[in-house]
Structure 1
């Protein structure tokens, strides 16, 4: 099964057993996004999580003059859209495939069915996503502190 094999390659699912991967794969869709395809627009509902298995997605926001500016790139092996999904908010940026991108997609409907039919696996997935988000936050915090220290000349003694 393609979805199970792809999930095995995804770091988020590394602590899932073969049986758990088979179960979770029933709730995931497999999608290929050609280069240039928009995965979501800024302001779209956060109703999907994209588990990028192959490819890259650029995240764009408009600058004050209306130009689209690339603010980040999500690489294969990372989830995308999870913050909008779990906060029930809208996407704060536009996501565009920078090259052909393969993803496993968890829709809101799929997640609700997973919670209902196998709450243990739903919790395990959320815990795995929480670890990823925590690591991103720590890395962003480190970069922020490094930048502030560089600009201000380091900590005062």
Structure 2
């Protein structure tokens, strides 16, 4: 169990009431990952969601020659691993602490307990994570459109 104060440090929990934070804290663990530590490997099962409280995590993909290529950096205040967690797929990248990283960690067992014991809170958590995923998708869509318009010479019409 993690102290409620730690959950309060994560900005995405700001819409949660004191009581909700106390309740969700029961299902979270607090972990510290030293710089260079691997949180998960490409191909690992998505058994956890990491809520990055402090630090920075790099996401790396293997290129055809077996080299790790950084594809993104995840800053504090952001969840990590949620797509694999909810889709029951393997991680498509490797996550490495770029500097000492502190995270609240929710595992599958904890999430299942939360759903059984407080379904409304589980839904609220899921909605919060869905908003983050939607924002990421919106950013990726914008990058895609900007790239396509650049390549094709801009929008026609």
Tell whether the structures are fold-level matches, with TM greater than 0.5. yes
* 2:33–2:102 CA contact under 8 A, matched in 1: yes
Give the corresponding residue for 2:123. Answer: 123
The 2-side partners of 1:104 and 1:91 are apart by: 19
The 1-side partners of 2:15 and 2:42 are apart by: 32
The 1-side partners of 2:11 and 2:129 are apart by: 10
Give the corresponding residue for 1:3. Answer: 3
> How many aligned positions are there?
157
The 2-side partners of 1:128 and 1:76 are apart by: 16
Q: Does 1:12 align with 2:12?
A: yes
Q: Does 1:65 align with 2:65?
A: yes
The 1-side partners of 2:3 and 2:80 are apart by: 17
State the TM-score, normalizing by the size of structure 1: 0.96
Matches within 5 A, 1:129-148: 129-148=129-148
State the TM-score, normalizing by the size of structure 2: 0.96
Give the corresponding residue for 2:51. Answer: 51
Runs of 4 or more off by more than 6 Å in structure 1?
Answer: none
Give the corresponding residue for 2:77. Answer: 77
- C-alpha deviation, 1:153, in angstroms: 1.1
C-alpha root-mean-square deviation of aligned residues, in Å? Answer: 1.2
